[in-house]
A and B are shown apart, each in its own frame.
With several copies, the nearest count.
Chain A
Amino acid sequence: MARKITYKQAINEALAQEMARDSSVIAMGEDNVGGAGAEGEKDAWGGVLGVTKGLYGRFGDRIMDTPISESAFIGAAVGAAACGMRPVAELMFVDFMGVCFDQIFNQAAKFRYMFGGKAVTPVVIRTMYGAGFRAAAQHSQCLYSMFAHIPGLKVVVPSTPYDAKGLMIQAIRDNDPVIFFEHKVLYTLEGEVPEGAYAIPFGEADVVHEGDDVTIVTLGRMVHFARDAAQTLAKRGIDCDVIDLRTISPLDEETILESVNRTGRLVVVDESSPRCNVATDIAALVAQKAFAALKAPIEQVTPPHVPVPFSDALEDLYVPDAARIAQAVTSVMEFKR
């Protein structure tokens, strides 16, 4: 499997293959086609960063542009899912959740339980997240922790092109509502991706670097920094397990606990705001279920509790990096009771 494509292409390919396979898969979002009602080119955009480009040519009206009415069209995707379709709706930036969250967390997430197990709502909500684009406080957030908080949702955060494709295919085939987080900085990342369709099961973390000294649990863009840190640390004789969660709901507790039981040390790396986030979630899990193995404090590497700043100078300080991760690992290695 030598073919390399980008994270963005991997998502596009997953969508295309699933749409080809199953006519109930449809897609919708602002400018997912682009050019609706205008005089120029159709498929002018394919989404604001081009992820759905080309699907219109192949699938026509199965991919639809929408007004800037996130509640209406995301809710429509939810409703259509409850009526037998498999819609993939795009919430352009997850920062816009505030105008449509009800349809996700009170409707999609709760139908099955409220209706006594009779509803099936296979909707996928694709959304961009994360800092790095100098897009400031309202276009750079990393809000997956809030979705993970909600019972009934599944939350997927791929870090590589390979995972993006396999997890998107699983998301579409999955029968529960799935929120699929795409890191805008990763779109141009290249990686090996098989041409055929394949699904990566939810709830299976990926160990992307192995070592017995410290466990690093992370996700999304941070996986790459964590691996960089692990490689640097390996040269200094500190061997890290780096666990890429891939999905945070469901969570692969087993892989995390197995690793910490072996290493006795945990660093959690999370790009989201530090309060009540995935980092605290994993730390709390381990402090409860692998306490006996712990040899050192659990370090959390996250941004500070501030909005994402605009200036590149500040944004670069805001986002965790390999150096901060390495420092956290070093500190847990050096810990003495």
Chain B
Amino acid sequence: MSATLTRDDLLRAYRTMRTIREFEERLHVEFATGEIPGFVHLYAGEEASATGVCLHLRPDDRIASTHRGHGHCIAKGMEVAPMMAEIYGKKTGICGGKGGSMHVADLDVGMMGANGIVGGGGPLICGAALAAKMKGTDGVGVCFFGDGASNQGMILEAMNLATVWRLPALFVAENNGYAEATSSKYSVACDNIADRAGGFGMPGVIVDGHDFFAVHEAAGEAIARARAGGGPTLLEVKLNRYYGHFEGDQQTYRATDEVKRIRETRDCLMLFTRRVSSAGLLDLAELEAIDRDVAAQIDAAVVAAKAAPKPTAADLLTDVYVEYA
């Protein structure tokens, strides 16, 4: 277990993972009622990745996320209530209801947006890292992307550029085995996404994404190197998603017991709990208290989101430009 983790860190990590899980499982339920508009992609099952990486980040560090962005948002410190309201398309949403699930963003906490374009975050995070470098802070930029995105030219170009410019960047390939219904065994022409790192002049590291501690440690090393001017890293996190590609996906392409098996044996919250309690670092009662607290918080967020007003005609034409001629 990484020596750098304090008790507070562990509590924070657990709360983050639990918040993500609760947020996503609640959305799964609420989506089925038909009240949530648009496409919703859930991050449940992958919590240890966002959490293990983002625990190293400061507010002035930046992340770029994906269509499956809720977990990254929460891990980077976004408030759940305005996130939930955004997903419901409400005026009180973090983006005023203009963005929705695929575009939640909060630049104030260094969260540069979920992204509806697969691979779109790669170039953007090079820019965030460049800005940090130019300003002489030791800030970093982290790009989360999927196995499917690892075949997108934008991601591949971005990795090369990050090395050429020696940017303080981390590329986190969240390999959950699928891009929509397509297996990464089919779409990614090499065994591991990390195998691509060498071709772009950076270290490639593989970690078990069900294991918070493994992610945390590997990300910590890469981020420290980036802050110190040592350039970018490609970190491949192998994990699983618990729900369909998006809500509504019947997932007939998956083996029938695939998710069940993983949930039972490799769930990141379960593994975390086991580890911290068997090591005597946190006790179960503490964790259960967090669970109750988080459940109440998510419930309140849903209730508030449902009750909130929608944006109105006055909102339609604003926020296109900063300066209108």
Contact = CB atoms under 8 A, between A and B. Distances in A.
Interface of A: 26, 30-31, 34-41, 44-45, 48, 62, 64-69, 71-85, 87, 95-96, 98-99, 102-103, 106-107, 111-120, 133-139, 151-152, 154, 174-176, 201-204, 247, 250, 252, 304-307, 309-314, 317-318
Contacts of B232: none
Interface in B152-207: 152-154, 157-158, 160-161, 164-165, 178-188
Interface in B85-133: 89-91, 93-100, 102-103, 105-108, 112-113, 115-120, 122-128, 130-132
A280 to B, nearest CB: 19
Contact of B152 (A62, A68, A103): A68
A306 B325 CA distance: 15
Contact of B161 (A40, A76, A176): A76
Contacts of B187: 36-37, 65-68
A68 B119 contact: yes
B98 A30 contact: no
A232 to B, nearest CB: 23
Contact of B182 (A38, A72, A106): A38
A134 B38 contact: yes
B48 interface: no
B59 interface: no
A221 B251 CA distance: 31
Contact of B180 (A31, A102, A118): A31
A83 B316 contact: no
A136 B103 contact: yes
B279 interface: no
Contacts of B320: 112-113, 151-152, 305-307
Given A79-B131, A311-B90, 13 more contacts: A36-B186, A37-B182, A39-B253, A69-B158, A73-B126, A102-B117, A106-B117, A134-B100, A136-B102, A139-B102, A151-B320, A305-B320, A311-B89
B242 interface: no
Contacts of B297: none
Contact of B154 (A30, A71, A133, A201): A71
Which 9 pairs show the lowest CB-CB distances between chains A and B?
A: A75-B123, A79-B127, A203-B325, A37-B186, A37-B183, A138-B116, A310-B100, A134-B37, A311-B89
A44 B164 CA distance: 19
Interface stretch (B209-217, B221-229, B283-291, B305-313): B305-313
B99 A116 contact: yes
B38 A310 contact: yes
Contacts of A305: 320
18 contacts: A30-B180, A31-B182, A36-B187, A62-B134, A64-B165, A68-B118, A72-B157, A75-B154, A78-B127, A79-B141, A80-B128, A99-B152, A103-B124, A114-B95, A136-B38, A136-B102, A306-B317, A317-B313
B33 interface: no
B39 interface: yes
Contacts of A39: 253-255, 258
Nearest to A109: B320
B186 A83 contact: no
Contact of B97 (A102, A314, A318): A314
Contacts of A87: 127
B151 interface: yes
Given A72-B122, A136-B103, A137-B116, A313 B312 contact: yes
Contacts of A135: 38-39, 102, 116
B318 interface: yes
B322 A312 contact: no
Contacts of B37: 134, 310-312
B319 A136 contact: no
A35 B252 contact: yes
B256 interface: yes
Given A34-B253, A76-B124, A306-B316, A116 B182 contact: no
A76 B127 contact: yes
Nearest to B103: A114
A38 B147 CA distance: 14
A176 B320 CA distance: 9
B254 A67 contact: no
Contacts of A64: 165
A38 B157 CA distance: 21
B200 to A, nearest CB: 11
Contacts of B50: none
Given A31-B180, A72-B161, A152-B320, A67 B148 contact: yes
A69 B321 contact: no
A117 B183 CA distance: 38
A115 B113 contact: yes
Contact of A73 (B161, B188, B321): B161
A36 B148 contact: no
A79 B126 contact: yes
Contact of B103 (A68, A75, A115, A176): A115
A45 B98 contact: no
B124 A78 contact: yes
A324 B255 CA distance: 50
A99 B153 contact: yes
A115 B108 CA distance: 11
Contacts of B292: none
Nearest to B315: A314
Contacts of B97: 116, 309-311, 313-314
Interface centre among B123, B184, B250 (most CB of A within 10 A): B123
Nearest to A75: B123
A133 B321 CA distance: 25
Contacts of A99: 117, 119, 152-154
Given A72-B160, A136-B116, A137-B116, A314 B316 contact: yes
Contacts of A252: 325
Nearest to A74: B123
Contacts of B134: 26, 62, 80, 85
A99 B153 CA distance: 8
B90 to A, nearest CB: 7
A322 B313 CA distance: 18
